[in-house]
Chains A and B, each alone.
Chain A
Amino acid sequence: MARMSQTHVDYRLSQLDQLEAESIHIFREVAAEFEKPVLMFSGGKDSIVMMRLAEKAFYPAKIPFPVLQVDTGYDFPEVLATRDNWVNRLGVRLIVASVEEAIKNGIVVDDGKTSRNRLQIGTLLNAIEENGFTAAFGGGRRDEEKARAKERVYSHRDEFGQWDPKNQRPELWNLYNGRLHEGEHMRIFPISNWTELDIWDYIGREGIEIPSIYYSHQRRVFERDGMLLSESEHNPCREGEVVEERTVRFRTVGDLTLTGCVESTASTIEEIIAEVAIARVTERGATRGDDRFSEAAMEDRKKEGYF
């Protein structure tokens, strides 16, 4: 924690400090220029890093905007517990937009074929519209996926919440343009330039709480489409799928019916970092069923208004 208090003889900032400074700048810029920002907080590692950066950006004042979680109804209980700890410690207001509620109210349609992940889109857009949010912070990173590699830090959404990748505003220096028309909103990606490894290094350096399922644990799992999925009432086994107990951890956390885990004995941040540094498969490729439907799966969902 005392890392910055010494004199910098050569006036150099490590890359992680530079990323932190850039992200904090973005948080402050949005808080200054937007009427109603909100932080999309899933309780996953990327949104936890966002929370930490927001905490630092406004300290010792409280974070000047609420946080929004889209509850699929299929979230890991460990993740929800961590979410609540963060929200309570920082004293921010939590808004939960429930996919189940949205289905009940006819905002989205559960046809039995559409994943909860996809149903989050309508639920999220509805929550943004209902609350009149003009800026929504998301934890997307450009190293995650090809469509995200081309997305701006300030990503404009039209009145339908859609992203138009071919018509993005140029983004120069650190001068962000937050102009909006009635009904439009901006998605803000303050950790665009962070990589998966940076996220882990930062969590390690800051010593902050993340859901326990990121660490190695015993879990009853079965294999589907080359992924290890959790045994759960929401996710009944199909014919031929065998449940067995394995030593696993999660690299990403999302809808538990779609988020796979990997076999791992990494039980400390240092061990996770070592594992990430030599990983040969992207975190989304390894563990996210939602990104596998087509090569352009993320691009399509983003255009519709996904995170």
Chain B
Amino acid sequence: MSTTNMDLLRFATAGSVDDGKSTLIGRLLLDSKSIFEDQLEAVEATSVGKGYDYTDLALLTDGLRSEREQGITIDVAYRYFATPNRKFIIADTPGHVQYTRNMVTGASTADLGLVLVDARQGLTEQSRRHAVILSLLRVPHLVLAVNKMDLVGYSQEIYEKIHAEFTQFATKLNIPDLEVIPISALNGDNVVNRSENMDWYSGPTLMHHLEHVHVASDRDLIDARFPVQYVVRPKSDEFHDYRGYAGQVAGGVLKPGDEVVVLPSGMTSKISRIDLFDQEISEAFPPMSVTVHLEDDVDVSRGDMIARVKNAPEPRQDVDAMICWMTTTPLKPRQKLAIKHTTRTGRALVKDIQYRLDVNTLHRDQDTKELGVNEIGRVQLRTTVPLLSDAYAKNRATGSFILIDEATGVTVGAGMING
């Protein structure tokens, strides 16, 4: 097995221990042979030490000592497994109410979100909240895994009821692709192998879906966006005149010969060459890290954006965004923060908090004066530097930003720009 030509799927899981999330992840890792003997032995030994009469697969994912002691997951953990054609990166996020920020973090890079519900409980406030967050973060694919089907007699009726209820709820969200899969993580039904207990279900198994869900077309290949990260100037004899603009393509396809504009200056030029290490390449597209050369000697530095002349983002200093607040001191109007957007850093002033979104009911509380920890709301900002941005719904890379407390240096908010 070689990973060289494999595809990549990043997915975020949401759900609590009670939904069987750890058991499901444990099973995915076990059945794809990604758990090693010594890891399993360590978990078995701990389970015995705690007096359990079963191997607690949750221990595989609870990494920190305090988590093991308290039996909870406190932070995003990343797991890796692979099948012959695809590598998977799981952002495993805790499901408790106080950890919305971790779920937002895990979802920010995910292609797919996996929400677990207990078939006996049906949809809960928590599962709705997870779906709302995944939708806000524009995770393009969602899987609702209806777990513990073994405990409801593999009942089609129960599955259909949860399916219908969730589909109805999802119409209020932005979920382009939804799959509802009945499983038993404990027994393995429809996880990797097709269940013999649910003849009535004709959809894919969870693993089959993860392996085949089409993610390549989720990226924006139309609107060329290249945030300049670093200017490469060797100043050596051999590369005396070399001046390249290094960065990671955030959208569209860049080609030599393209007429481009550099923002915010508005200077225009043409791409003369694109380098990937010591190779000249004919095209660059997301998420490639390349070095772009321009024909003209224009002034370009970190924080600038290269885009197509007729298709460039509008520089804006008045920013309307959904913000997830991540620290205990609330976000209030008039507050000043540092902001990082693509490779651009500046300061932002909170002009107004328009509403707080109740992620359980989708109710918009317009009377709110502040955003507390783990709350999400619509906020107006004024920035010191223009952001060269797109709507988050159009491009997750150019539509997102983080807010940093200037005194503590801590990341306190995650923002998604409205169109």
Contacts and interface: CB of A to CB of B under 8 A. Distances in A.
Nearest to B105: A170
Interface string B59-98: 0111111100000001111111010001101000000000
Contacts of B123: none
Contacts of B62: 146
A28 interface: yes
Given A192-B78, A201-B4, A299-B64, A11 B289 contact: no
Contacts of B289: 20-22, 24-25, 28, 57
A279 B37 CA distance: 9
B229 A1 contact: no
Contacts of B77: 146, 149-150
Given A18-B8, A32-B343, A177-B340, A165 B75 contact: yes
Contacts of B42: 295
Interface string A13-37: 1111111111011001101100000
Nearest to A8: B283
B109 to A, nearest CB: 6
B383 interface: no
B340 A175 contact: yes
A150 B233 contact: no
A262 interface: no
A42 B338 CA distance: 36
A59 B7 contact: no
B338 A1 contact: no
Contacts of B63: 146-150, 299
A14 B5 contact: yes
A193 B101 CA distance: 21
A18 B215 CA distance: 14
Contacts, number: 214
B2 A172 contact: no
B216 interface: yes
Contact of B404 (A1, A17, A171, A177): A177
Contacts of B104: 170, 172
B341 to A, nearest CB: 8
Contacts of B341: 175
Interface of A: 1-2, 4-8, 10-22, 24-25, 28-29, 31-32, 55-62, 142-143, 146-150, 165-166, 168-175, 177, 179-181, 192-193, 195, 197-198, 201, 205, 273, 277, 279-282, 285-286, 295-296, 299
19 contacts: A12-B7, A16-B3, A18-B287, A21-B289, A25-B248, A58-B232, A61-B236, A142-B78, A150-B64, A150-B78, A172-B108, A172-B400, A172-B402, A177-B404, A193-B78, A195-B82, A197-B82, A277-B1, A281-B37
Given A59-B278, A198-B87, A285-B38, 14 more contacts: A5-B282, A7-B283, A11-B216, A15-B8, A17-B288, A21-B287, A21-B289, A147-B63, A149-B77, A149-B78, A150-B77, A166-B74, A173-B397, A201-B2
Closest 8 CB pairs of A and B: A179-B409, A285-B38, A146-B63, A15-B8, A24-B289, A61-B234, A172-B108, A21-B289
